[in-house]
Structure 1
Amino acid sequence: MRLIASEHRSDGARRLLDIVATQLRIIAAAPRTGLLYLRAHPLALPAVLFSRLLGCKVILEVNGSGDDVFIAHPGTAVLRPLLSRAGSLQYRLTNHVVTVTPGLARLMAAKISAGKITALTNGAPLRLSSLAQEPGRPPVVIFFGELASWQGIETVLAAKASGHWPDGVRLEIIGSGSMASAAETAAQSDPTLTFRGRLPQAEVHERVAESYATLSVQSGRVRRNLHGVAPLKVAESLMLGTPVILSDLGGHSDVLKGVGYRWIVPADSPVELAEMVGALVAETDAGTVRRDAISAIAQENLSWEAIGKKTADLIEGVIAETAA
């Protein structure tokens, strides 16, 4: 197995160059590769096309409806017809599609044969469970990840500014993206809100493990979320033993409701979010929120090790199939 990754730089022009360079490395490796496993992206068409022409099988992982690139980079809207066609062509060329929610699997079934689709949720490595600890004081709640409108950052800021946010509870926002300026502006006028920008992953995990809770409250007003959401940060937080308050949009919320998890709120509901933060902090201080039990939920339902085994079995099955 060979891993080919881009640098994920934030600067637009450099990011585009990274994508082009990654595509070229994939194409160069295709003749020596039996299968390419690639996260779906409209700009990945060259890699998919040339890999198939060179006899390499392709599995695409679908993490969203296809609107993500236009939400995160509004300037690409003018290219939407072209990029949408590029995405559709990839699905027709691929040997198999993996989606991170059942809702996305149903969406893809309208584009390709249902027999070529498998739903496997996102997860987190079991090693994170070793970092679980009791939360520090004073209480801190963290929002981390991509600061884009579909991630519900407006709901988080509205909850913090509401009169329902619990006294003495700090909010930290970690990440970068199109809504970073809104988070930074809010922090300037609220001494209990800290905007930290982008941090190394290890530091993020450390801060999350020490926090009372994290927030994963994606917006239901954004079409890309209506097929369910399964962000990595939900599995990471739970594996660290830290409760997550998340939107009831399907995907991870359905998995967690199935095991009795209750820190779930309606999407786009800042007052209910603020009140749930208060309830969770109060229960944590009362000792009724067990961090080991929170981590056990992730270990049993959202571990990369278990999900990876299913992915490996799928890959072996696709390789064994007669070449398309």
Structure 2
Amino acid sequence: MSLTTSSTHRVLYICCERIVAGSAAATHVHEICDGLTRRGYDVTLQAEHGEARSNLAGQLGRYARVILGSLTRLPRADIVYFRSHFAAFPIALAAWLLRKPTIQEINGVYAEAFVTHPRFARLKGVLSWMQRQQYRWASALIAVTPQLVEWGSKEAGHTRAYHVGNGANTERFRPEGPKTQRTLPYVLFFGGMTRWHGVEVMLDAVQSPVWPEGVDLLLAGPVVDPSLKARIMDAPPHVAWLDRVPQEELPALIRGAVAALVPTVDPSGITAHGITPLKLFEMMACGRPVIVSDFKGMADLVRQGPGGLVIPSGDPEALARAVGTLIADQAEADALGAAGARMIAADHSWDARAAETAQVIESVVKG
């Protein structure tokens, strides 16, 4: 995609989440900032980097530092871009009072914030109001799924909402390149070890009588939910836990797999507005078929390719059968993987996402 040049609009990009190296949020933030910079925008990222975990005092301190830093930089910004967060309320209020145009990027509904930060659940009512008010003040909304576009418009009370989805860095994640070699064929999941990522479903699937003989399950990522650690440590044969894998090593690990897995479950009921995990785009970009749960967004993407198989959520035997299907027909597995990679390269690169974001910025600045 050719680059367009802006009139050097000064963009203040605000992220109240901690930027953790290798995380989906970090990838999203940096890819969009880098893509806008390549297009001539003067982008200032107001965020903090470091480890994900912190106590309440540390978390509140981070919010305070991001807020103060943003307020200091706000007067010189031409447009303020928020990765939506309730803690950004004071900045959004100041931008509204200063008549600064703002964009709110929506990555999920309010309920998702309280799954990630349960310590704030008792304040759900007031924090949801703070987020809703930011949407109402916004010059435009950007949402990562069509369902979130519709939801955000209803919450904001206006229709200035646009769909700009997730993507993949198609220079790093591509079919060509080295492949991880292991003694046995394997299927791969990478990400945080949490229940909603379907870790228990995968471990149960390996023990199913329909799991194909001689196929390993590789789990790559930190144990986020401590209650899963014992289960992972005591996993049956043919399960290997790799802990956190550096992002630069992920492409080879994906390319070497028979298939990559995204067997998401939904104990909190947050998938109704669609989910499109960043890892799904990276898996497909590397040319391997994926096996995903039948939720809006992710299932639609896989069927569109077609880039893999869609299974009922929370069904270990369905997952085991799907792995067996791809193992039994390697030619079909390769064809699905190739089709998915072509689709991601054509329509879902981060460069394409940055171009779409730039179009929204231009429409807002021009009024």
Establish whether residue 136 from structure 1 lines up as the match of residue 172 from structure 2.
Answer: no
TM-superposed CA distance for 1:231, in Å, is: 0.9
Distance 1:180 1:97 in 2: 36
Establish whether residue 56 from structure 1 lines up as the match of residue 82 from structure 2.
Answer: no
% of aligned pairs identical? 29
TM-superposed CA distance for 1:287, in Å, is: 6.8
Do the aligned partners of 1:71 and 1:150 also contact (CA within 8 Å) in 2?
A: no
Match of 1:156 in 2: 202
* AA of the residue aligned to 1:289: D
Establish whether residue 5 from structure 1 lines up as the match of residue 47 from structure 2.
Answer: yes
TM-superposed CA distance for 1:16, in Å, is: 4.4
Judged with a 3 Å threshold, the aligned counterparts in structure 2 of structure 1 residues 259 and 192 are, in CA distance, closer, same or farther, namely closer
**TM-score (ref. length: structure 2):** 0.79
Runs of 5+ consecutive residues of structure 2 not aligned to the other structure? 1-42
Q: Deviations over 1:105-155 (max 9, x none)?
A: 222232124521111211112202446346634222222223333333332
Distance 1:124 1:76 in 2: 32
Do the aligned partners of 1:125 and 1:304 also contact (CA within 8 Å) in 2?
A: yes
4+ runs of 1 displaced by more than 4 Å?
A: none
Matches within 5 A, 1:144-293: 144-176=190-222, 178-183=224-229, 185-284=231-330, 286=331, 288-290=333-335, 291-293=337-339
- State the SS of the aligned residue for 1:203: helix
TM-superposed CA distance for 1:184, in Å, is: 5.1
TM-superposed CA distance for 1:182, in Å, is: 0.9
Judged with a 3 Å threshold, the aligned counterparts in structure 2 of structure 1 residues 194 and 260 are, in CA distance, closer, same or farther, namely closer
Match of 1:22 in 2: 66
Distance 1:180 1:207 in 2: 25
Q: Deviations over 1:161-216 (max 9, x none)?
A: 33332222222222235425415533324232222333322223332232222211
TM-superposed CA distance for 1:316, in Å, is: 0.8
Establish whether residue 89 from structure 1 lines up as the match of residue 95 from structure 2.
Answer: no
Do the aligned partners of 2:194 and 2:228 also contact (CA within 8 Å) in 1?
A: no
TM-superposed CA distance for 1:15, in Å, is: 4.6
Matches within 5 A, 1:122-133: 122-130=166-174, 132-133=176-177
* AA of the residue aligned to 2:53: D
Judged with a 3 Å threshold, the aligned counterparts in structure 2 of structure 1 residues 22 and 175 are, in CA distance, closer, same or farther, namely farther
Which moves more between the two structures, 73-82 or 265-274?
Answer: 73-82
Query: What is the total number of aligned residue pairs between the two structures?
Result: 320
Distance 1:206 1:6 in 2: 30
Which moves more between the two structures, 50-59 or 34-43?
Answer: 50-59
Out of 349, 354, 357, the residue aligned to residue 303 of structure 1 is 349
Runs of 5+ consecutive residues of structure 1 not aligned to the other structure? none
Judged with a 3 Å threshold, the aligned counterparts in structure 2 of structure 1 residues 27 and 207 are, in CA distance, closer, same or farther, namely farther
Judged with a 3 Å threshold, the aligned counterparts in structure 2 of structure 1 residues 135 and 79 are, in CA distance, closer, same or farther, namely same
* AA of the residue aligned to 1:277: V
Judged with a 3 Å threshold, the aligned counterparts in structure 2 of structure 1 residues 25 and 163 are, in CA distance, closer, same or farther, namely farther
Match of 1:47 in 2: 91
Distance 1:218 1:275 in 2: 17
